[in-house]
């Protein structure tokens, strides 16, 4: 994660009293988004279908695992469905009738993302039938089950694109692949996945085959009757017109720069979408939005130096923007996006992945340039500063291709955080000029 302080409209930060902190947590927007939002008709049907799948596969378990994959882009409500599903699953496990196949089942919800796990732990306080011990990182579950030589019934995996695809002794994972081990240690596996959100070579999931791991390969290894795949399409996070959604999708997945959305030009869009040629001015405008609405934050691609050494590191663009990267605060109770002091910071892709903002101000940094011949983004991996993310793994064959995909994935994550608005500033002057051209 990341760090720092601002020359633009500095604000003092303070530590809230414990009573205030608890009050804020109980009203956390991130918690409400996962636990209190009413499911759409599609989501209700999907949850019921997955629940039925679990019950049938447990009843007919023959020693072979089953897998249900829920795929969807950022903002399609994947985690919302999982939370509702796990609530019902654990309620049945604890309070089901004696002849209910789910009665007494041993289940886990796992996520390989410390901020998301922290959020699930907070949510569990509102549900007496969910124990904190049933919410874990995948390595913890794998090591615990292996130690006792046991198997659980159901494992639900949120953000499965963050599962490790290679050994990581530093984090005490000694297997070759999280998903492989989870399949061996559970009877039924429910997997939520988006290949466009893999951000590191050590947890790289390729939508093709030959680099990192491929979910389709694991899925295809199961008998036809033991597997099911569903793709969510409806966008719930970004409340923008289709032409704006298409613009974001094109630039963040293919690098293509589409014509500026007509719905925005004509003033018909409720989504506040702007391209800026002055980063300091963008930050000032974002501050006004934050004062009015809250949860407006600056984000940037990992193109500005940062080291985990306790020091502050800064994102600097032009002469009037110098703001620190977000500080590493593992003990903070609230998500970074909801803490009042973090407006004075720039969030990285790791800070914000899995969370919403009202407005997102995104800096496309030094690794994101412009190719005039193709009228598209030109990636420059040599300027991408996430050295840990680029650490070569033995299952990565085409290193340069994977580096480019990781950068594109990070752009996709950053550009899909804003619910009500998205502001963009490009560090590269040629790209900045092209994006401002309407």
Q: Quick one: average pLDDT of 388-404? A: 92
pLDDT at 24 over 80: no
6 vs 16: CA distance, rounded Å: 21
pLDDT score, position 74: 76
pLDDT band at 7 (very low <50, low <70, confident <90, very high): very low
pLDDT score, position 318: 87
247 vs 257: CA distance, rounded Å: 7
| Residue 109: other Cβ atoms inside 10 A | 25
- pLDDT tens, residue by residue, 87-115: 899 999 998 888 899 999 999 999 999 88
pTM as predicted = 0.87
Domains of the chain: 41-232 (3.40.50.300), 237-435 (no CATH)
List helix spans (H) across 129-204: 138-147, 178-185
The structure tokens listed for 283 are 């930050």
pLDDT band at 14 (very low <50, low <70, confident <90, very high): very low
What does the mean pLDDT of the chain come to? Answer: 88
The structure tokens listed for 217 are 């390969």
**Rounded to whole angstroms, what are the CA distances from 183 to 28, 54, 68, 230, 354?**
34, 14, 11, 19, 24
- Residue with tokens 């799948």, as numbered in its chain: 53
pLDDT at 76 over 80: no
Q: Quick one: average pLDDT of 25-35? A: 56
Q: Helix, strand, or coil here: 35? A: helix
Q: Which residue has the higher pLDDT, 272 or 126?
A: 272
- pLDDT tens, residue by residue, 311-343: 999 999 989 999 999 998 888 888 899 899 999
> Do the strands 376-379 and 368-371 form a parallel or antiparallel pair, or are they unpaired?
antiparallel
Q: What is the DSSP letter of 39?
A: P
């Amino acid at each position: 994660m990341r760090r720092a302080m601002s020359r633009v409209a500095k604000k003092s930060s303070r530590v809230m009293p414990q009573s205030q902190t608890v009050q804020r947590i109980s009203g956390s927007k991130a918690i409400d988004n996962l636990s209190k939002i009413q499911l759409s008709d599609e989501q209700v049907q999907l949850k019921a279908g997955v629940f039925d799948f679990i019950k049938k596969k447990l009843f007919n378990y023959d020693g072979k695992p089953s897998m249900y994959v829920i795929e969807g882009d950022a903002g399609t409500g994947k985690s919302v469905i999982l939370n509702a599903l796990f609530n019902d699953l654990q309620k049945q496990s604890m309070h089901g009738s004696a002849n209910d196949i789910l009665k007494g089942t041993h289940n886990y919800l796992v996520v390989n993302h410390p901020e998301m796990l922290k959020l699930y732990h907070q949510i569990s306080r509102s549900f007496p039938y969910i124990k904190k011990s049933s919410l874990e990182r995948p390595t913890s579950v794998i090591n615990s089950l292996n130690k006792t030589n046991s198997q659980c019934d159901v494992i639900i995996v949120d953000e499965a694109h963050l599962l490790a695809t290679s050994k990581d002794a530093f984090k005490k994972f000694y297997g070759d692949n999280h998903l492989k081990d989870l399949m061996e240690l559970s009877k039924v596996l429910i997997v939520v996945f988006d290949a466009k959100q893999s951000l590191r070579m050590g947890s790289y999931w390729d939508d093709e085959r030959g680099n990192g791991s491929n979910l389709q390969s694991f899925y295809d290894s199961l008998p036809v009757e033991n597997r099911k795949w569903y793709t969510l399409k409806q966008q719930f996070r970004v409340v923008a017109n289709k032409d704006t959604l298409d613009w974001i999708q094109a630039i963040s997945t293919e690098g293509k720069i589409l014509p500026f959305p007509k719905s925005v030009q004509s003033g018909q869009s409720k989504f506040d979408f702007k391209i800026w040629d002055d980063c300091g001015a963008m930050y000032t405008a974002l501050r006004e939005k934050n004062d009015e609405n809250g949860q407006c934050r600056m984000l940037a691609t990992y193109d500005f130096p940062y080291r985990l050494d306790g020091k502050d590191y800064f994102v600097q663009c032009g002469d009037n923007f110098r703001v620190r990267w977000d500080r590493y605060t593992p003990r903070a109770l609230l998500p970074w996006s909801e803490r009042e002091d973090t407006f004075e910071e720039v969030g990285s892709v790791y800070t914000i992945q899995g969370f919403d903002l009202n407005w997102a101000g995104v800096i496309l940094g030094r690794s994101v340039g412009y190719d005039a011949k193709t009228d598209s983004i030109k990636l420059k991996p040599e300027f991408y500063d996430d050295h840990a993310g680029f650490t070569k793994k033995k299952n990565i064959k085409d290193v340069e291709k994977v580096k480019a995909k990781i950068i594109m994935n990070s752009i996709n994550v950053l550009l899909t955080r804003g619910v009500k608005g998205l502001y963009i500033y490009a560090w590269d002057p040629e790209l900045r000029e092209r994006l401002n051209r309407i």
